[in-house]
């Protein structure tokens, strides 16, 4: 680890000064060290060790706050274990805040006091980011997004080629040569975004959504310049980089003169743009921002698409992405969609805003140095899936899809992992489709 300089310490402490508001002040003073939050954390559930108690994450940030911002912390640091921001503290911060937390926010809900633990983790990560201590693997993902426009570094021509191939696939699927995947078209109602994992690894989820748009007769477009819904700077804690990425999306919406920005199935991406980007940019977005989950539910509710649940006969369960559900309030919609698109559905236990994180959040999928912990947590999710008896796990998040695929393989679950768009696309009844004959 790089040696600390006075300037670096100052930069880290500036975050506590910059962000000081009622919320920070409250959360650094509210924890009573009862330790009852322990079981709410997937890391602790897997390995009941003092290191993984969420209150430890609270304490490392608030102890630094106490040391520099309270009289007691300055005069009698021993009384409250107020810590100096030194090499040892930073080493602990990196492991606790990056390596032992998926920022799933489950602990917030179960804290006996109501401390926003996830918020303090983000504050701590922001301090580390200012000082240059973001794990290289995570920073690399942010850097790729900054330098290429998407976090996978997909060149535009490769992206366009993929979409052209998918367009042909769509035409074949819907039996209509006029079906298209519109690119960079101005003045459409919707600008749809993607998780770069889709063009790179899961192109069928793009064709699934394109089929839904086709069936709904939607006026939509994709941008070839800025389509990446993710914002890994939200995980790294670098406010400035988060702002740059958010601004690009806003600018692209303006350039293409679209009315509504629809965010692909990506938990953190939807949170980062819908809820955090306005805070990064310190203004309300001048257009509507919705998640594709809400859009799919809207299409079904308003009869814009016809779906037949009998087309999906296998037992389906649902993994709620933390940032979409606990952090974004979207949890009825995915259930409404599944109720209408699958014949058999089983909830996990716990579920909804109580659901366990799959382990892929908080940037963990990027930080290979913590792979063992991440896959360990995955065992909890594997147990949850197994106990439902489901053959298909639906999840509206591509990061979760990636983690669930790895969990599936590592734990020999033999289940299929699907996005909601894929399930809806499978259930769609097109107008030109032959209706099943009634007996």
User: What are the residues binding another protein (CB under 8 A)?
Assistant: 20-23, 25-27, 29-40, 48-50, 53, 55-56, 59, 72, 76, 78-81, 108-116, 119, 274-279, 281-285, 289, 325-329, 331-332, 335, 347, 351-353
Question: Could you say which DSSP state residue 345 is in?
Answer: E
**Residue number with CB closer to another protein (153 or 352):** 352
- Find the helix or strand (DSSP H, E) in which 36 lies: none
**Residue number with CB closer to another protein (132 or 329):** 329
Find the shortest distance in angstroms from Cβ 375 to another protein: 24
Find the shortest distance in angstroms from Cβ 419 to another protein: 20
Q: Chain centroid to CA 275: how far?
A: 12
Place of tokens 């793009």: 206
**Residue number with CB closer to another protein (139 or 323):** 323
**Residue number with CB closer to another protein (246 or 427):** 246
Report the interhelical angle of 203-216 vs 420-427 (nearest 10°): 50
Angle at 53 between CA 47 and CA 59, to 5 degrees: 150
**Residue number with CB closer to another protein (168 or 332):** 332
**Residue number with CB closer to another protein (186 or 339):** 339
DSSP labels, 142-202: HHHHHHHSSTT---HHHHHHHHHHHHHHHHHHHT-TT----BS-TT-SEEE-B-THHHHT-
The shares of helix, strand and coil residues in the chain, as percent rounded to the nearest 5, are 55, 5, 35
Structure token pair of residue 304:
């814009």
**Residue number with CB closer to another protein (41 or 138):** 41
Answer whether 105's CB lies under 8 Å from 111's CB. no
Residue (of 280, 281, 3) closest to 131 by Cα position: 3
Answer whether 277's CB lies under 8 Å from 184's CB. no
Find the shortest distance in angstroms from Cβ 143 to another protein: 26
**Residue number with CB closer to another protein (135 or 396):** 396
Find the shortest distance in angstroms from Cβ 335 to another protein: 7
Find the shortest distance in angstroms from Cβ 404 to another protein: 20
Find the shortest distance in angstroms from Cβ 224 to another protein: 27
Find the shortest distance in angstroms from Cβ 394 to another protein: 15
- Whole-angstrom CA distances from 40 to 101, 106, 110, 117, 148 are 12, 6, 7, 11, 38
Cα–Cα distance, 368 to 141 (Å, whole number): 12
Find the shortest distance in angstroms from Cβ 44 to another protein: 9
């Amino acid at each position: 680890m790089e040696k600390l300089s006075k300037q670096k310490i100052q930069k880290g402490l500036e975050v506590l000064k910059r962000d000081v508001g009622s919320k920070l002040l409250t959360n650094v003073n509210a924890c009573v060290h009862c330790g009852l939050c322990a079981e709410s954390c997937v890391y602790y559930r897997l390995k009941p060790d003092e290191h993984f108690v969420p209150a430890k994450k609270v304490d490392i940030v608030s102890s630094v706050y106490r040391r520099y911002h309270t009289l007691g912390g300055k005069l009698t640091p021993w009384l409250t274990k107020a810590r100096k921001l030194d090499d040892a503290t930073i080493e602990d911060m990196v492991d606790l805040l990056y390596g032992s937390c998926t920022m799933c926010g489950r602990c917030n809900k179960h804290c006996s006091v109501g401390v926003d633990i996830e918020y303090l983790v983000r504050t701590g990560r922001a301090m580390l980011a200012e000082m240059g201590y973001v794990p290289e693997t995570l920073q690399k993902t942010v850097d790729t997004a900054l330098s290429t426009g998407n976090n996978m570094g997909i060149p535009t021509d490769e992206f366009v080629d993929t979409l052209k191939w998918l367009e042909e696939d769509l035409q074949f699927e819907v039996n209509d040569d006029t079906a298209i995947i519109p690119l960079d078209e101005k003045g459409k109602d919707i600008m749809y975004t993607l998780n770069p994992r889709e063009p790179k690894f899961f192109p069928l989820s793009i064709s699934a959504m394109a089929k839904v748009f086709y069936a709904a007769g939607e006026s939509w477009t994709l941008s070839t310049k800025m389509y990446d819904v993710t914002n890994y700077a939200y995980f790294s804690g670098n406010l400035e980089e988060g702002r740059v990425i958010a601004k690009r999306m806003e600018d692209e919406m303006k350039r293409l003169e679209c009315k509504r920005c629809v965010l692909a199935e990506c938990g953190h991406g939807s949170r980062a743009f819908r809820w955090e980007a306005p805070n990064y940019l310190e203004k309300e977005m001048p257009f509507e921002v919705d998640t594709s989950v809400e859009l799919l539910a809207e299409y079904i509710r308003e009869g814009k698409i016809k779906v037949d649940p009998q087309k999906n006969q296998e037992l389906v369960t649902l993994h709620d992405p933390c940032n979409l559900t606990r952090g974004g309030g979207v949890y009825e919609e995915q259930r409404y969609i599944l109720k209408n698109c699958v014949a058999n559905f089983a909830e996990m236990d716990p579920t909804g805003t109580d659901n366990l994180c799959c382990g892929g959040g908080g940037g963990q999928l990027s930080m290979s140095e913590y792979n063992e912990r991440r896959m360990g947590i995955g065992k909890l999710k594997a147990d949850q899936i197994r106990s439902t008896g489901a053959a298909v796990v639906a999840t509206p998040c591509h990061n979760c899809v990636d983690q669930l695929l790895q969990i599936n393989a590592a734990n020999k679950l033999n289940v299929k992992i699907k996005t909601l768009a894929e399930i809806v696309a499978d259930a769609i009844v097109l107008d030109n489709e032959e209706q099943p004959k009634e007996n």
